[in-house]
Amino acid sequence: MKSVSLWAAAGAACVSAGLVVAPVHAQETLHPVLVEAFANSDLAAREEDWRFTLRVTNDDGDLVGRFDGSLADGERWQLVSPPEDELSDMQAGLWAGFAEDEDEDGDEDGDDEAGDDNTGNGLFFSLAEADIAPGSLSLAEETGSGWIFDFEPELGDEEMDVAGHLRGRLTIGGRPTEVQELRLWAPESFKPHFAVRLHAFEMVQAYERVDGVPAPVLTRLSQSISGSAAFQDFDQSFELAFSDIEFLGEAVSGR
């Protein structure tokens, strides 16, 4: 997801709570439903393969930008609204983060010897980039429309004890079988750090089929978090909504 700057926005929204996404290691064994779902979802793509509109909604309102991977580096992100001189400080920081992330992903120094260092997953679901602890996926419920798997989240950093207080749930469904939703939440209040208490936390990633795209894509990421830090209460929420999604490349499975 880094290739289209999703985590630039998510990271900025999470920084006050110290939450960091950690990559998952290879799963040794998986339920057959998961094997099929991941095969139908986990596809390789390049930054150049995408066009989409991104709407970031938080307490400062809506920030809308358009990404076009077919354009030259430095021109791929275009601000739609609000006008640049009307951006709040938070919005200006997010928008600057998109441009900075694009510059970092570019090969300005010609170091891309293999020619595919820019390959990732884009808006496709990626098990390798999910917040799932190795070997922790277990079937919790089989419904008439799909399957629900519980898992242990793998989140946090050296100074924040987060993962042990959160629960994870992965929803699988559709024909062919595909990932539909990933959810993380805190069932009760907890202290990830001696100076921080989180009263509530929830993060949801929703995936849907889009015409012309070979696998379900991320269409919404929402997060809400409330608590107190250094004797100051905070209550933050944001949503990323992806629309007008076009896939311009050739998806490759089994990377």
The whole-angstrom separation of Cα 169 and Cα 185 is 9
The whole-angstrom separation of Cα 212 and Cα 250 is 11
Task: Check residue 130 and report its DSSP letter.
Answer: S
Tokens encoding 193 = 């750090």
Segment 163-209, tens digit of pLDDT: 788 999 999 998 889 999 999 999 999 888 888 889 999 999 999 99
CA nearest neighbour of 154 among 43, 19, 39: 19
Q: What is the 3-state secondary structure (H, E, C) of 91-107?
A: HHHHHHHHHHHHHHHCC
CA nearest neighbour of 153 among 136, 131, 174, 135: 131
Torsion sign across C-alpha atoms 145, 146, 152, 155 = negative
Give me the percent of the chain exceeding a pLDDT of 70. Answer: 78
Average confidence (pLDDT) over 38-46 = 90
Q: Is the pLDDT of residue 121 over 80?
A: yes
Average confidence (pLDDT) over 208-234 = 93
The whole-angstrom separation of Cα 56 and Cα 63 is 5
CA nearest neighbour of 213 among 181, 249, 241: 249
* Peptide bond before residue 83 is cis, with ω within 30 degrees of 0: no
Tokens encoding 231 = 């004797």
* Peptide bond before residue 134 is cis, with ω within 30 degrees of 0: no
Cα–Cα distance list, 85 to 12, 79, 89, 95 (Å):
20, 11, 10, 12
Q: Where are the alpha helices (DSSP H) in the chain?
A: 6-14, 32-41, 89-105
Give the 3-state secondary structure of residue 205: strand
CB neighbourhood size of 228 (10 A): 15
Could you give the angle at which helices 89-105 and 6-14 cross, rounded to 10 degrees? 140
Average confidence (pLDDT) over 26-33 = 75
Full-model pTM: 0.81
The whole-angstrom separation of Cα 4 and Cα 11 is 13
Tokens encoding 12 = 């900025």
| Residue 87 banded pLDDT, cuts 50, 70, 90 | very high
The string over 198-207, giving b where at least 16 C-beta atoms fall within 10 Å of a residue's C-beta and e elsewhere, is beebebbbbb
Average confidence (pLDDT) over 214-235 = 92
